[in-house]
Amino acid sequence: MTMIFGVPVAVFMGQLMLGLINGAFYALLSLGLAVIFGLLKIVNFAHGAMYMLGAFATLLGMQYLGIGYWAALLLAPLVVGALGMVIERLLLRRIGHLDHLYGLLLTFGLALIFEGSLVNVFGVSGARYPTPEALQGGLQLGFMFLPTYRAWVLVAALVVCLGTWYVIERTRLGAYLRAGTENPALMQAFGVNVPQLITLTYGFGVALAAFAGVLAAPLYPVSPTMGSNLLIVVFAVVVIGGMGSILGAVLTGLGMGLIEGLTKVYYPEAANTVIFLVMILVLMLRPAGLFGKEA
Amino acid sequence: MATTQTLTPAMERARRASQRRNLFYLALLAVGLVAPFLAYPVFLMKVLCFALFACAFNLLLGYAGLLSFGHAAFLATGGYVTGFLLSSYPALTPEMGILTGTAAAVALGAVFGVLAIRRQGIYFAMVTLALAQLMFFVFIQAPFTGGEDGLHGVPRGELFGLFDLDSNLAMYYFVFAVFLIGFAIIQRAVHSPYGQVLKAIRENEPRAVSLGYNVDAYKLLAFVLSAGLAGLAGSTKTVVFQLASLTDAHWHMSGEVILMTLLGGVGTLFGPLVGAGLVVSLQHMLAQSPLGNWVSPILGLIFVICVLSFRSGIVGEALKIVRKNFK
Amino acid sequence: MTFIKKTLASSIAIAATSMMAATAQAEISDGEIRIGYLADMSGTYRDLAGPGGLEALEMAIEDFGGSVDGAPIEVMSADDRNSADVGANTVRGWIDQDNVDLVAGMVASSVTIAVTNVLEDNDKLGIVSGSAASSITNEHCTPNHIHWVYDTYPLANGTAKAVVDQGGDTWFMLTADYAFGHALESDVEKVVTDNGGTIVDRIRHPFPTEDFSSYILQAQGSGAKIVGLANAGADTVNAINTASQFGLVQGGQQLAGLLVFLNDVYAMGLETTQGLLLTTGWYWNMDDESREWAERYYERVGRMPTMVQAGIYSSTMHYLEAVEATGSDDAQTVRSYMMEQPIEDFFARNGRIREDGRMVHDMYLAEVKSPADSTHEWDLYEILATIPAEEAYRPLSESDCKLVND
C-alpha cells in the first residue's frame, strides 16, 4: 500500500473526500449566516435550529403527508423560510434599533425553544430517513467506496452556493442587497423598501439552513439537537471567512471541511477543535477574517 | 442630631440611601444565615455558586460592556483543578484546593483576556467562544479531568484542617462565606474609581482613550477579575457536589450564565443573584415535576421575553420603579 | 490459605449481619419503602431501559402487593440525561430530602459510578441494571450497590470469543470514549489476545456520535477482518448503518456488535442485522417462564422487554423479598440477605450475588435470525449456547475490588 506520512493513500484521500462533503454543509450554513449578518448585523444563533427544522420538516412530511425527498428539497426550505420571515417581522424587527448583541441573545432563546420543545416530542435519539431510491448504492472511486448520496450532497450544496453567489453579485436584487448592507438609509431614500428587503433576506438565509437540513436527513439521525453543535463550528467558519462575506463563507466552509478531514487522519480527537484554533490564529493575524474588509 | 440640620437635601438623600442600603445588606445577611433551616442546603449552595458565577460574569458585561460567550471555561477550570487536587492529594485542605483552582482560572483569564479584549462586540463574543471550545477539547483529552466520565467522589475534607465539611450545614456556611467574599470584591471594584473608569469606557470608549486612560489595561483587569471569580464559583461548586464534569465546560453553560444575568438585571449588583436564584429554582422545581424536560424551552422563552420587553432585568426594572416613585 | 481466610471472613460477616438483623428488626425507615428510578428517559439509551424499565419496576411492586408488611412502596423517577452531574445530584436530593432507600435502573456507566459514590457516602442501596462497565464491580465496587443484568466481561467472553473461534482473529476496535467503552475495549482485547487474535488498531469516538463515516473509512483502511463496536444504543445503530452505506461488509470485513440490545435489532431490522452474534443476559423467547412474563409486559407496554427491563423486575422482586424477610430497609441488612439467597426466577438461572456486588447468572450466546427464519416481528434471536454463571463473569481471583479479600 502507498502511504502518505504513514497513512494509506486510500484512507487519506477518503478522509479528504468526507471532509469536503462536511465542508459543503458548512458552506451552506455559513452562507446563510453571512447573508443574514451582512444586512441585519445579527449573529443568528437560531441557524442550527433552522437546519434541524429543515430535517424535521422532511421527516414529518414523509411520515404524515407522504411528501417525498425531492418535493421536500423544495418545500422544507420554503416552510422554514416562511417561519423565518414571521420571526423577523414579529421579533427581530422590534429590537433592530438596539445593540446587535441583543439579536444574538434573542435568537439564542429561540434556538432553546425550538430544540427543547422538539426534544420533548421526539426525544434525542433521532429518527432515520431513508436514502432516496435514485441515490442508493455507491461509486467505486478506486481509493474509496463513495455512497452516491454523499456525492449528491456535495454537488447540490455547491450548486446552491454558486447560485446564491450569482444572485447576490450579478443581479439587480443582489445589488439592492449589497447596497442595503452598505447604507440602508440611503437605500430607503432611493425608494427601496428596506424593511421588506430585511425580512426577505432573513427568510432566505434561514431557508438555506433548512435546505442543508433536508440534505442531512438521510445521512444523520434526525434529532432535535442535530444543529446545536454544528452551529458553533459554523460560527467559527463565518468568523474565519470574514463576517458578512458571501464568497468568504463558501470558500472557508469547504476549506475548513478539508482541514477537519486532514485532522481526522492524523489526530482524530482534535477534529472538532481544529477549526477554533484556525479561527483564533486568523483573528490574530487578520482581524476582519480572510475575506472580510477591514472595518 | 445637630449635624443633620447642616446637611444639604442632596447629602441628606445620599445619607438616607446609604442607610437604606446598609439595612438591606443586613437583612440579606440575616436571610442567608437562616436560609439552610428553611430550605434544602444543597439547593441553596447551588444557587450561591451560580450566583457568584453570574456576578462575576456581570462584572464584565454590566460594568465593562463585554459580552463573553466563553465563561464556562473558567467555571470548569476552577472545578477541574480543585477536583483533581483534592482527589489526588488527600492531605490538601479544601480551601487550598479552591485557592489553587481560582488561581488557575485567573491565569487562564489572563491568557484569554490578552487575546480577546482587542476585539469588540460580536467579535469579542466569538473569540471567547472559540477559546472556550479549545478548553473544552483540553478537558476531554487531558488525563486529569476523567474525560467524558468527569471526576467523582471528590472529598469535601476539613476546612483549615479543623471543620468537617461533610455536614451540609457546615458546607453551606462555608459557601455562604465564599459568596460574600466574592460579592464584596465585586462591590468594592464597582464602587471604586477603577469601576467608574470602567463604566466610562463602556459608555464611550474613544472618549476614555482621549482622556488618557489605558483602556486595554482596564478591560484586561476586569476580564481577569471576572475569570478568577468564575473560577472561584466553579471550585466551590466542585467541593459542594464532589464532582466536576463536562457539563460545566459546555457552551450551553456560557449561555446559561448570560440568561441568569440578563434575567436578574445586567449592571445591577443584585441582579445576577436574583437571576441565578430564579433559574436554579426553576430547574430544580421542574426537574421534580412532570414538566422536567421542559426546562430548556422555558428558559428560552424567558430569554426571548427578557430581550423583547424587559432588558433591564428584574432588579433593573424594580430599581426604575423605585426611582420613579421615591424621588 | 486464602480460601480459609475468605470463608472465615464471610462467616464472620454473616454472623455480624444476623446480629444486626436482630437489632434492626422491623426497622423500615419512616414506615415507607421509597425506590428512586434513575435512567436515561429521553436520550440515546432511552429504549433499552427508560420508561419501559420504570414500567417493569412498577409491575414488580404490583405483583408484590404494593406494600411490605403494611409499609407502602413508593416510586419516584428521574431522567439522568446521561449526565453524571445530573444523576449524582438527583440521587443526593432523593437521599437528603425524600429518604429514598433504593436506587434502581442506572444506565450510562459514568452516571452509575458517580451515583454509587453518593450511595456509599450515605449508606443507601443501589441496584444497577442498565450499565455495562465491568469496572462497576471491579475497581469501582462499593458495599452499597449490586450489579444485576450483565457486564462487559461476559460480552467479551461470549461474543468476542465466538468470533475469534470462527476465524475472526484481527480486530479493529471502535470504542465509545467513556468508562463503559474503555471497560468493554479492554475486556475484548484480553479475550481476543488470549485466544490467539490481535487488535490491529483502535479509535475512540465521542459519546454520543452521529457521523461515523470517517471512522468506518479508517476501519476499512485497517485491513482487519473484524470491526468491533465497543459502544451501545444509538451509537451502535449509527455505526452499523454507516458501515452498510459504505459497503464495509461487501468489502470482506465483518462487524461485531459487542453490546446489542433487543430494541436495537428491532430498530435496525433483520435485513441489516441478520447473522450478528451477540451475548445477552436474557431473551424473552428463551423458555416458557420468560415468555409468560414477557407477554404480560408486552400487554402493558406494547413492546417486548429488553434484558435490562426484565432484570429491573427480577432485581426489584429480590430486593422486596429481602426487605420482607429482614423487616428492614437498612442498606447493609438488606444487601447481606440478598447475597445469602440464591436467585432463581424467570430472568436469572444459577444466580447469586458475590461479595463484590456482582450478580452472576447464566449468560447466552445468540445469533440474530434471518428474515426468513423469523416467525413474527419480535422473533429475533436464536440462542446458540449457554455460558454458565461461574464462567461468564470475571473471576474473583482477578478482582481489584476492595471488598474482595485475597
β partners of residue C358: C147
Residues C7 and C138 in one domain: yes
**CA angle, C166 as apex, C165 and C172 as ends, to 5°?**
85
Q: Taking residues A236-260, what's their average pLDDT? A: 91
C-alpha distance from A197 to closest chain C C-alpha (Å):
37
Residue A286: C-alpha distances to residues A12, A181, A251, B119, B126 (Å): 30, 22, 16, 12, 15
Pair (C216, C95) in one structural domain: no
Range of the domain at C170: 153-280+364-391
- How far apart (Å, rounded) are the C-alpha atoms in residues C134 and C130? 12
Residue in C80, C131, C141, C135 with CA at minimum distance from that of residue C108: C131
Q: Say what the pLDDT of residue B5 is.
A: 55
Do C268 and C294 lie in one domain? The reply is no
Q: Which of C42, C203, C218 sits opposite A123 (nearest CB)?
A: C42
Give the mutation candidate from A43, A90, A101, A263 for the B interface (greatest B CB count, under 10 A).
Answer: A101
> Tell me: the pLDDT tens digits for A224-233?
989 988 999 9
CATH (domain of C273)? 3.40.50.2300
Residue in C closest to B248 by C-alpha = C85
- Residue A210 pLDDT grade (very low, low, confident, very high; cuts 50, 70, 90): very high
- Residues of chain A contacting residue C266, judged by C-beta atoms under 8 Å apart: none
Does C246 lie in the same domain as C372? Answer: yes
- Same domain, residue pair C143 and C29: yes
The residue among C40, C85, C184 with the most chain B CBs within 10 A of its CB, best to mutate, is C85
Interface residue of C89, C120, C184 to substitute, partner B, most B CBs within 10 Å: C89
- State the Cα–Cα distance between residues A40 and A47, nearest whole angstrom: 14
With an 8 Å Cβ cutoff, the interface of chain B facing chain A consists of 67, 115, 118-119, 121-123, 125-127, 129-131, 133-134, 136-137, 140-141, 251, 255, 258, 262, 293-304, 306-308, 311
pLDDT of A1 strictly over 90: no
Domain for residue C347, yes or no? yes
Question: What average pLDDT is seen over chain A?
Answer: 90
Q: Which residues of chain C neighbour A123 with C-beta distances below 8 Å?
A: 42-43, 46
Is there a contact between B256 and B247 (Cβ–Cβ < 8 Å)?
no
Contact: C79, B140; criterion CB under 8 Å: no
Phi, psi dihedrals of residue C363, rounded to the nearest 5°: -115, 165
pLDDT at position B1 over 80: no
For A158, phi then psi, to 5°, come to -65, -40
pLDDT, position B261:
94
Same domain, residue pair C46 and C88: yes
Pairwise CB contact (< 8 Å): C97 & B40: yes
Say whether both C259 and C291 belong to one domain: no
CA-CA distance, C220 to C239, in Å (whole number)? 13
For B121, which residue in chain A has the nearest alpha carbon? A101
Which chains does B contact via 3+ CB–CB distances below 8 A? A, C
Q: Do B304 and A109 touch (CB under 8 A)?
A: yes
Q: Which residues of C touch B248 (CB under 8 A)?
A: 85
In chain B, what residues touch A94 (CB-CB under 8 Å)? 308
The pTM for the full model equals: 0.88
**pLDDT score of A35 more than 80:** yes
Contact B268/B62 with Cβ under 8 angstroms?
yes
Q: Where are the domains of chain B?
A: 40-251
Determine what percent of chain A is predicted with pLDDT higher than 90. 55
Q: Do the Cβ atoms of B303 and A105 come within 8 Å?
A: yes
Per-residue confidence band for B82, with pLDDT thresholds at 50, 70 and 90:
very high
User: Which domains are delineated in chain A?
Assistant: 3-285 (1.10.3470)
DSSP string of C243-289?
HHHTTTTTTT-EEEESS--HHHHHHH-HHHHTT-EEEES--TTSSHH
Task: Please check whether residues C109 and C225 belong to one and the same domain.
Answer: no
Closest CA to B214 of B189, B194, B241: B194
Residues of A with CB under 8 A from a CB of B: 43, 91, 94-95, 98-102, 104-106, 108-117, 119-120, 232, 235-236, 239, 243, 269-270, 272-273, 276-277, 279-280, 283-284, 287
CB pairs under 8 A between B and C: 62
By Cβ distance, the residue of B133, B295, B307 closest to A276 is B133
Q: Which amino acid is at C64?
A: F
Q: Give the Cα separation of B63 and B66 in Å (integer).
A: 8
Same domain, C118 and C7: yes
Average pLDDT over residues B289-307: 84
* CA–CA distance, C38 with C56 (Å, rounded to integer): 13
**What are the 10-residue block averages of pLDDT along chain C, 406 residues in total?**
45 47 59 94 86 96 93 92 88 93 94 94 95 93 96 93 92 91 93 94 87 90 92 89 88 90 90 88 95 96 95 97 94 95 95 95 94 93 93 93 84
| Beta carbons of C92 and B287 less than 8 angstroms apart | no
* Angstrom distance (rounded) from CA C188 to CA C157: 7
Instruction: Tell me if C405 is assigned to some domain.
Output: no
Task: ipTM value, please give it.
Answer: 0.87
CB contact under 8 A, C86 and B247: yes
Residue A99 has pLDDT above 90, yes or no: no
- Pick from C42, C211, C246: CB nearest A119: C42
φ and ψ of C220, to 5 deg: -65, -35
The reply to whether C381 and C250 lie within a common domain is: yes
State pLDDT tens for residues B214-258: 999 999 999 999 999 999 999 999 999 999 999 899 999 999 999
Q: Do B307 and A119 touch (CB under 8 A)?
A: no
The whole-number average pLDDT for the span A178-196 is 83
Nearest to A26 by CA among A229, A292, A174: A229
The Cα B27–Cα C67 span in angstroms is 48
CB of B153 less than 8 A from some CB of C: yes
Residue with the bigger pLDDT between A193 and A67: it is: A67
The chain A residue lying nearest C41, using CA atoms, is A123
Do B134 and A104 make contact, defined as CB atoms within 8 angstroms?
no
Residue C404 lies in a domain: no
Candidates B43, B245, B287; nearest CB to C78: B287
Closest CB to C217: pick one of A14, A119, A221.
A14
CB contact under 8 A, B123 and A279: no
Give the one of A15, A120, A145 whose C-beta lies nearest to C214's C-beta: A15
Determine whether the interchain pair C42/A10 forms a contact, defined as Cβ–Cβ distance below 8 Å: no
Q: Are residues C82 and C195 in the same domain?
A: no
In terms of domains, do C112 and C223 share one? no
| Burial of residue C403, with CB atoms counted within 10 A of its CB: 0-12 exposed, 13-18 middle, 19 or more buried | middle
Mean pLDDT computed over A191-212: 93
Closest approach of chain B CAs to the CA of C39, in angstroms? 14
Number of separate domains in chain C = 2
- End-to-end Cα spacing for chain C: 9
Q: How far apart are the first and last CA of chain A?
A: 51
The nearest alpha carbon in chain A to C42 belongs to A123
Whether residue C406 lies inside any domain: the answer is no
Higher pLDDT, C209 or B277: B277
**CB-defined contacts A:C, below 8 A:** 65
Distance from CA of A23 to the nearest CA of C (A): 14
**Contact (CB<8Å) C204/A18:** no
- pLDDT band of residue B169 (cuts 50, 70, 90) is very high
CB-based contact C221 A10, cutoff 8 Å:
yes
Range 227-246 of C in CB contact (< 8 A) with A: 233-234, 238, 241, 245-246
Sign of CA dihedral A61, A66, A70, A71: negative
Chains that touch C (3 or more CB pairs under 8 A): A, B
The pLDDT assigned to B2 comes to: 46
Is the model's pLDDT at A295 over the cut of 60?
Answer: no
Q: Higher-confidence residue: B24 or B44? A: B44
Beta-carbon separation of C110 and B148 below 8 A: yes
